Structure 1
């Protein structure tokens, strides 16, 4: 397997909106071609179109990333459209605001499938590409909830599992130029935000504000670059210091 002649290619899941769209835009500005993946194909195409209008090589894919067969098909499609992949950025995630008594087994499985199984499947599917790249990067979007527990157990457990998966996967890329890292945002202005609670959460954050997606994308941009080669198996909490001292409740 050889490295493609064009720009390095990043696959970004959840690229249809929120942090995923901001991250896709940022990676395009850094000179990467971007494969915009989202279960909402219309949203993925909207992001890819905006990138294309700015001169970024891009393509859109409406994919259920929890499907093993879909992950394999995505590899073939991205190869045909953009080339071999050097960066995999797993942003897509879901939050079910249910407590123990209200969480069904099906809901639990869905959260685990999207937040943990999908990053596993995609890393597995693109592993050969990542190893063949001049420098490969896997960046997962976890959550501060995965570092300390949270009132919604399925979400917290899934993000804790993703953090452990991140540090564990580096063993599979031992001896290569691939690094695997995660970011763990706190409250952030995306469609997932509990907006009625936003003012209260900002007041409990030492910086006096909750995150913008740009705050998190900036860290992802560093992890995606060549100069981050010494950072591997880590999870960076990005929450303005809130989880060090306070609870959002």
Structure 2
């Protein structure tokens, strides 16, 4: 790492180098610990030198998100819309998984940058090119939500207790007692939670396969979109049908 930094410090500073260094630093120290001063130290320059290439920290974060988006594969040419969308989403998921902080960075962007808008426009275009109406595509984009970026808010994520002890670190007899207590009070949750063997590293829920669950939900959405397109769905008809 030291040798890499020494080499980098001899390289003229430009916007691309600043952004790449910021991404690498965030990978190392985390999104919250990233600062202009710390980035300047890593690059061997004074903080003011960074402002020639990014307006401020928000501009830096915008650029970092652009770097992440640049790692997402473009739409596959001559592919069925469903295949193209699926491959693009999974490529986005891989791109974000390479950087643990990427989801937080994407979600923190309140203003849509050209890089974000370019990606959204390209993503929307896959549906329109596949014969979807603008009306249906509008609702499809709402439905697909964060999956466009390769992530989603998981129902079983232990967000309420980030310090929760992994099951593998709890003695077997204690786990059995906890499960028995849970089953008595929450029988339905326990029934589905214990229906699969669990992976302790999962963020979806102890024992769930994150990638499988993500693709399962994605495929359900794509199948549903396909059925709606096939029957010429419109929001006007849907609203009339609800009256």
TM over 0.5: no
Higher relative contact order (CA 8 A, sep 6+): 1
Larger radius of gyration: 2
TM-score with structure 2 length normalisation?
0.31
Q: Give the strand-richer structure, 1 or 2.
A: 1
Q: Give the helix-richer structure, 1 or 2.
A: 2
